[in-house]
């Protein structure tokens, strides 16, 4: 019997920032047929074979706690990137609800959705998403400018965030003059500059070299200690999920396999699928 004392993350009761309720996403002409089969218990492969539709999500229920890093981990095709794009409605579900602070964002009008993206939820992409024709400072200031702040205010705010990510001296450089790790720090600064409550990070570090990636993980953890944002971090790497996540959601074939703290997942994987990830991590050398 495991008698180790639970860590603080296991015992704390967190407020829920985002509640994902019975979310399905089907791509293709026979969306309704595929959705009906999924609700009857059909698995992804069988439904896709019968309907020709592509199943992204097959009934996801999950809660994202306030002020913590939640890592959503899964292999290619598990639905993790599809899921995160539902949280700011870059994608709308075939069925289900996405509740943010108790409000169903699927009911928002387009002007209300724009306000959600400008003030409450920001996003960092895997490919950096920087604008090549403007310098680093104006890239970071972009979201503030779109929100309506004047040029000087936006640039002042951007400078503060460039300082925080260690790139103050590069404000006049252009994206093509930066390394991959520096570009990702600019993308992170731009997302943080609007001071959104929720930060979505879709495979944000996966394109980086291993040492730079580890450094970016350190930087994110250090920033989170000061900021206490609600961060949803998408990754295919169990090491990254267990290192960064205070709350981990493992997806497979569009469904949730396990939810828990890193300690809970290490000690009590719910099935052989999750156990294989944990065993692989245990066998790997420390970085």
Instruction: State residue 7's pLDDT score.
Output: 45
* Domains, in order of start, for the chain: 64-92+109-280 (3.40.50.300)
Instruction: State residue 281's pLDDT score.
Output: 63
Separation of alpha carbons 80 and 63, rounded Å:
14
How many other CB atoms sit within 10 Å of the CB of residue 62? 18
Instruction: State residue 10's pLDDT score.
Output: 42
Instruction: State residue 11's pLDDT score.
Output: 37
Distance between start and end Cα atoms, the chain: 30
Average pLDDT along the chain, 287 residues, taken 10 residues at a time: 38 78 96 96 95 97 97 94 96 97 96 92 83 94 89 93 91 93 90 91 87 89 92 94 96 96 94 88 53
For 3, the 3-state DSSP assignment is coil
The predicted model scores a pTM of 0.87
Residues facing residue 202 across a β-bridge: 234
Separation of alpha carbons 138 and 222, rounded Å:
25
Separation of alpha carbons 27 and 6, rounded Å:
42
Strand residues in 182-262 grouped as ranges (E):
198-202, 230-235, 247-252, 255-260
Instruction: State residue 198's pLDDT score.
Output: 96
Instruction: State residue 147's pLDDT score.
Output: 84
Residues facing residue 252 across a β-bridge: 255
15 DSSP assignment: P
């Amino acid at each position: 019997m495991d008698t180790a004392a639970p860590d603080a993350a296991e015992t704390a009761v967190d407020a829920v920032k985002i509640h994902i309720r019975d979310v399905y996403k089907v791509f293709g002409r026979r969306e309704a047929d595929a959705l009906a089969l999924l609700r009857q218990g059909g698995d992804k492969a069988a439904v896709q074979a019968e309907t020709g539709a592509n199943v992204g999500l097959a009934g996801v229920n999950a809660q994202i706690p306030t002020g913590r890093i939640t890592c959503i981990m899964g292999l290619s095709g598990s639905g993790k990137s599809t899921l995160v794009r539902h949280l700011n409605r870059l994608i709308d579900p075939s069925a289900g609800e996405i509740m943010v602070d108790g409000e169903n964002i699927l009911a928002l009008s387009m002007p209300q959705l724009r306000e959600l993206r400008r003030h409450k939820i920001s996003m960092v992409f895997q490919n950096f998403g920087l604008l090549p024709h403007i310098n680093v400072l104006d890239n970071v200031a972009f979201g503030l400018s779109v929100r309506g702040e004047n040029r000087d205010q936006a640039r002042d705010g951007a400078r503060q965030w460039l300082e925080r990510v260690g790139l103050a001296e590069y404000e006049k450089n252009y994206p093509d003059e930066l390394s991959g790790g520096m570009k990702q720090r600019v993308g992170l600064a731009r997302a943080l500059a609007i001071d959104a409550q929720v930060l979505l990070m879709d495979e944000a570090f996966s394109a980086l070299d291993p040492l730079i990636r580890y450094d970016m993980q350190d930087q994110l953890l250090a920033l989170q200690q000061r900021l206490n944002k609600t961060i949803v971090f998408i990754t295919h790497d169990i090491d990254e999920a267990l290192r960064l996540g205070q709350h981990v959601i493992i997806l497979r074939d569009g469904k949730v396999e396990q939810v828990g703290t890193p300690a809970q997942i290490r000690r009590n994987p719910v099935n052989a699928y999750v156990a294989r990830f944990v065993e692989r991590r245990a066998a790997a050398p420390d970085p």
